[in-house]
Amino acid sequence: MSAIDFRELMRLEKRRMRMQKSNSPPSKSKDLNGVNNDTVESTHSVDTIEKFSDNLLGNDGKTRPLHKDILDDQLSKVLENSQVGAEVLRDVFYIEKLLCPNFERKLTQWLKSLPTINNNERNVTSTGGIVKYHGKWKRLDFARRSVAMFDFRVVKEIPPLLQVLIDMLLRIKAFPGTHPPNHVLVNEYQDQEGIMAHTDGPMYLDRTATFSIAGGDVLFNFTKRKPDDGVDDDSNNDVMQLKLHGNGSLVVFTDDAYTNHCHSINDRIHNSVEYASCKCVNAVEGEQIQRGHRLSLTFRHKFEEAI
């Protein structure tokens, strides 16, 4: 049994694209079944987070070192107090509003300014390929989204805005100091776009932290991974759903949620709207979720030997 990694995800997304092109009807997404979980309020300290976020940028709009009056011990509790799916899936943590609007704006502007790689250029293998793709947008037509990747094992210079986010993730203890985030994948979605069910795989430390910016909200689904192939397209196996707010939220998932569950965002929605299911832990069943332009920044620690 091997966990599905990005390459496998791309392969599956390409396969699905081919199937759709050959007029195969897309597999029907079934209604979500199961127990009704009451909406769980996140109990993080709003004060601490707001203070923290406000200190990310100075009045001049430049990033600055984090303010000293924000105590590490307060910060280290922010995440542990934000466990959102405790009764269903223990290792999922969610903070609805972590980034302040000023920082979010800067980050969005900077991401938009990244160059785009020519899709016709052929990739080269190993580190040469990584350097070529580093910090550039690439349109994945078969997957219907754009991605930009940063691998700081290979390119050592970390852009200041990403450094701020890495520092933040370390200070709230989303990552251990021994294994800081060294890999960032930025996904850009339009309102109809999503990502197939997958796990991030064993090339990374078993934790993923994702910031959502640019406005569009989405429903993030956790499904139980099938033991045989790691892929789960069967919505009967839905375990938990989380509304990811599109203006500066953070979701972190680790351990069992990382290893034994797939995550996905639906791409078969109509009129830019989807509805929270009974498995949603932070929106009531039936709540209308307004999709839109969304950028996600996913931070991971990639092991040294992984390609």
Where along the sequence are the contacts to ligand AKG (CB under 6 A)? 185, 187, 195, 200, 210, 263, 265, 296, 298
- In angstroms, the Cα distances linking 13 to 67, 138, 145, 222, 223 are 43, 15, 11, 18, 17
Smallest separation (angstroms) from ligand AKG to the CB of 12:
12
- Taking alpha carbons only, the member of 299, 250, 291 closest to residue 271 is 291
Is 161 or 217 the residue whose CB approaches ligand AKG more closely? 217
Residues 221 and 268: their CA atoms lie apart, in Å, by 14
Smallest separation (angstroms) from ligand AKG to the CB of 68:
32
- Taking alpha carbons only, the member of 48, 93, 43, 102 closest to residue 74 is 48
Smallest separation (angstroms) from ligand AKG to the CB of 87:
23
Is 75 or 191 the residue whose CB approaches ligand AKG more closely? 191
Smallest separation (angstroms) from ligand AKG to the CB of 200:
6
- Taking alpha carbons only, the member of 145, 195, 143 closest to residue 11 is 143
Through-space distance between the first and last CA atoms of the chain, rounded to whole angstroms: 20
Is 11 or 64 the residue whose CB approaches ligand AKG more closely? 11
Is 182 or 187 the residue whose CB approaches ligand AKG more closely? 187
The DSSP letter of residue 35 is -
Is 56 or 209 the residue whose CB approaches ligand AKG more closely? 209
Residue 65, token pair as written in the block: 């070192």
Strands (E), the chain: 92-95, 137-140, 145-151, 183-189, 195-198, 207-213, 215-224, 238-246, 249-254, 261-265, 273-275, 288-290, 294-300
Smallest separation (angstroms) from ligand AKG to the CB of 252:
12
Is 13 or 55 the residue whose CB approaches ligand AKG more closely? 13
The DSSP letter of residue 235 is G
